[in-house]
Amino acid sequence: MAIILPDLPYAYDALEPYIDAETMHLHHDKHHQAYVNNANAALEKHPEIGEDLEALLADVESIPADIRQALINNGGGHLNHALFWELMTPEKTAPSAELAAAIDATFGSFEEFQAAFTVAATTRFGSGWAWLVVNKEGKLEVTSTANQDTPISEGKKPILGLDVWEHAYYVKYRNVRPDYIKAFFSVINWNKVDELYAAAK
């Protein structure tokens, strides 16, 4: 067994004009494939630890030291991207009444949630991710991580994530990350976010 690159759940051009097909090809076929290959290369050195990346990254100290950073980077890269593809859709979706109520209770309104998420995504310096998570207290929280670090390693359950590495937006949006963040909100798969929220809380 080895980790395999999952197919996109839609066509490469399905998210146009918000996310362009060229970006999706590079991002999925090249970047995500590289995380998969590198994660497998690390895991092959320690077959005794298995391949459950979520469990391994939930307890990074349990990962053998010689492959720990490689798995944080590439195992995290695989998990984050596999989730990211599912968090987008060309279909129009909206948060469930339950999730919408939780967002209102936590942030004040959907607009204030979007503003907080946008700040997290805009101000993450360099490469990383912005997240909506369910934290250890079972509450919604907006956060961000560097590189391919997953919130799972902080005991948080990601229910929405946005890749803000330049590879995620530079082909279409060049240096204008805020336009890419705004576009993302047009393609969020709220059905998937609802499903993750229900499982996480």
Binding-site ranges for Fe ion (CB under 5 A):
163, 165, 168
Instruction: Report the residue number, 117 or 169, with the smaller CB distance to Fe ion.
Output: 169
Q: Which C-beta is closer to Fe ion: that of 131 or that of 165?
A: 165
Of 25 and 201, which CB lies nearer to Fe ion in the complex structure?
25
Name the residue among 138, 156, 145, 143 with its Cα closest to residue 102. 138
Least distance between Fe ion and beta carbon 161 (Å) = 10
State which residue has the least CB distance to Fe ion.
Answer: 163
Residue 78 bridge partners (DSSP): none
Two tokens at 189?
A: 């798969």
By C-beta, is 115 or 183 nearer to Fe ion? 183
Q: At its nearest, how many Å lie between Fe ion and the CB of residue 43? A: 20
User: What's the rounded Cα separation, in Å, for the pair 33 and 30?
Assistant: 5
CA dihedral sign of residues 161, 52, 40, 7: negative
Q: How distant, in Å, are the alpha carbons of 11, 117, 133 from that of 103?
A: 30, 12, 11
CB of 165 to Fe ion, least distance (A): 5
Shortest distance, position 80 Cβ to Fe ion, whole Å: 7
